[in-house]
A and B are shown apart, each in its own frame.
Chain A
Amino acid sequence: MGGGITLEHFLVLGLILFLLGAYCVLTRRNAIGILLGIELMLNAANINYLAFAFFGGARYDGQIFAIFVIMLAAAEAVIGLAVILAIYQNLRTIDVDATETLSG
């Protein structure tokens, strides 16, 4: 990898994706939409890990962390979708605002 690409390029891209993900989480009312936003945030973090690993002198710990993040995304998706299925069975909706039986 050469040709004038620097660490900053990747950090800026990661930042943009992270903010898009956070924006998605904050504005979506639908549980699956929120979960997709979280996936964007995790990917933004992974870009940072790999960029820091590469530009920090071809290190490995960043790559290892990225693998664990992918694994975590799988586990989180499984449990999150199970929660969503359970709530859909009871309430027939996964709109976060429609599920307001808890109050106060």
Chain B
Amino acid sequence: MPLGVFIFLAALAVTSALGTVLQRNPVHCLLALVVTLLAIAVMFIGLGAVTVGFLQVIVYAGAIMVLFLFVIWLLNLQAELRTSPGYLALKALAGLLCAALVAELFTLLWHAPTAGGAQAAAPPGYGSIEKIATMLFSDYLISFEVTSVLLLAAIVGAMALARRAPAPQHASPQAAAADGPARPEGA
């Protein structure tokens, strides 16, 4: 990847990330994030991580973002994403903190010597799905198996939280009122 391509992708990623942070409409935020994810995916491939790059497109920009979009539409989030003026002070504080972190980490990076022999060209086949799969099933076997448990826990948890079930008979009046007729379909 030539420097020009990197600068183009980086600029695209940062600009659209800014969009995610500053846009008011949640759908626009989400679309901006998808652009960031795609730009980053191309960079991944440039870094020799072909498999990770494709996973980023298929799983991250694809599946996960569609899930977000689905929920945003389900909740009909149109006007809600305004930032309330009372939070200007917090915003200023957050900005200040970020600026301090930037200053600190930039100085750190500036003084950091470049890691080792740097761009020793990656061996052929670096980042291919075959190599990754071999690693996953040998050195990282236990992590890989844990992943399956983690996903199962997430599925079970999500089912328990979001499934539609009759309200308990003795629920508190507040909860019963909130559980009224106007529940979103398919929730």
Q: Footprint of B on A, CB under 8 Å?
A: 1-13, 15-17, 19-24, 26-30, 32-33, 35-37, 39-40, 43, 46-47, 50-58, 60, 63-64, 66-68, 70-79, 81-86, 88-95, 97
Closest 9 CB pairs of A and B: A82-B158, A75-B154, A26-B94, A82-B161, A82-B162, A58-B122, A90-B178, A3-B2, A24-B21
- Asked if B178 contacts A92 (CB within 8 A), the reply is yes
In the complex, A64→B136 CA distance in Å? 7
Q: Is the C-beta of B117 less than 8 angstroms from some C-beta in chain A?
A: yes
CB-contact partner of A67 in B52, B116, B121, B161, under 8 A:
B52
Q: Footprint of A on B, CB under 8 Å?
A: 1-3, 6, 10, 13-14, 17-18, 20-21, 26, 29-30, 33, 36-37, 40, 43-44, 46-49, 51-52, 55-56, 59-60, 63-64, 67-68, 71-72, 74-75, 77, 80-81, 83-84, 87, 90-91, 94-95, 97-98, 101-102, 105-106, 109, 112, 114-123, 126-127, 131-132, 135-136, 140, 143, 147, 150-151, 153-155, 157-159, 161-162, 175, 178-179, 183-184, 187
In the complex, A16→B122 CA distance in Å? 26
Q: Would you give the shortest CB distance from A29 to chain B, in whole angstroms?
A: 6
In the complex, A93→B76 CA distance in Å? 11
Q: Would you give the shortest CB distance from A61 to chain B, in whole angstroms?
A: 8
